[in-house]
Amino acid sequence: MPTVGYILTALIAYLLGSIPTGFLVAKARGIDIRAMGSGNIGATNVFRILGKVAGVLVLLADAAKGCVAVLVVAPAFCGWFNAPSTPMARDWFGICAGTAAILGHNYTCWLKFKGGKGIATSAGVLAALVTVPLLIILGIWIMVFALTRYVSLASISAAFSLPFATWAVGKNWTLVLVTAALAVLAIYRHKANIRRLINGTENRIALKKAPVPNASRSTA
C-alpha cells in the first residue's frame, strides 16, 4: 500500500507542478510568452516582458506549487496509505511530492513537456523541507544578483550552495543527497544560460518595465 501512496502522491504533485502559471498569465494578456524574450515560461521572463507585478505573481504562484505539494499533498497521502504516519515516512512522502512538483514545472505535460527552470518551485519545496538552508541560499542569490544583475548566475550559485547549506545546518544525509540532486537538476536546466554567460551574451535583468508587445504580434 505505501507504494501506491507514493505513486499517487507523485502523480498529483506532478499535475500541480505542471500548471504553467507564466504561460497562463501571459496568455491572459494576449501574449504567448514562449515567443518572447528567452522563450521561458518562468517568472524571470514574465518579469522582463510583462513587468514587476506579473513577474512577482508568477514567482509566488510557482513557489506555492512546490510548497503545497509538500505541505498538503504529501501529508494527505502519507496519512492515508502509511498509518500510523512516522517522521521518516513523512520525510519520504514530502521528498516524493516535492520532486514530482519540480519535474511537473520543468516538464509540463500541458506544453509538450517544455516548462520552466524550476527555481521558484524548488524554493517552495525547500521552504517546506529545509527552511534554514533555503534562507542561506536566498542570501547567496540576493548577493550574486545585486553584484551582477544576472538572475541565471544568482540561481546557479544558489543551487550549487544548497547541499552544502543543508549539510552545514545538520540535516540528515537523505536530505543532503536529495538537495544535491535538486541542485544538479536546477543547474542542468540552466545549461543554455551557462553557455551565454561564458560567451558574454547573457542578458542582465532590466529594472525598468519593458514595453508590452502588441497582442496581435504574438503567436497563438
Per-residue pLDDT reduced to its tens digit, 68-94 = 999 999 999 887 876 556 788 888 999
**How far is residue 165's CA from residue 143's CA, in Å, rounded to a whole number?**
16
Burial 2-15 (b: 16+ CB within 10 A, else e): eeebbebbbebbbb
The answer to whether 212 and 50 have CB atoms below 8 angstroms apart is yes
Which of the pair, 204 or 108, is modelled with greater confidence? Answer: 108
Q: What is the dihedral of CA 69, 71, 77, 82, to 10 degrees?
A: 140
The pLDDT of residue 3 is: 84
**How far is residue 101's CA from residue 82's CA, in Å, rounded to a whole number?**
21
Per-residue pLDDT reduced to its tens digit, 26-73 = 999 999 999 999 899 999 999 999 999 999 999 999 999 999 999 999
The pLDDT of residue 212 is: 52
**How far is residue 120's CA from residue 63's CA, in Å, rounded to a whole number?**
5
Residue 197 corresponds to which amino acid?
L
The answer to whether 77 and 96 have CB atoms below 8 angstroms apart is no
The answer to whether 206 and 149 have CB atoms below 8 angstroms apart is no
Per-residue pLDDT reduced to its tens digit, 163-182 = 999 999 998 899 999 999 99
Q: pLDDT category, 157, cuts 50, 70, 90?
A: very high
Per-residue pLDDT reduced to its tens digit, 100-128 = 999 999 999 999 999 999 999 999 999 99
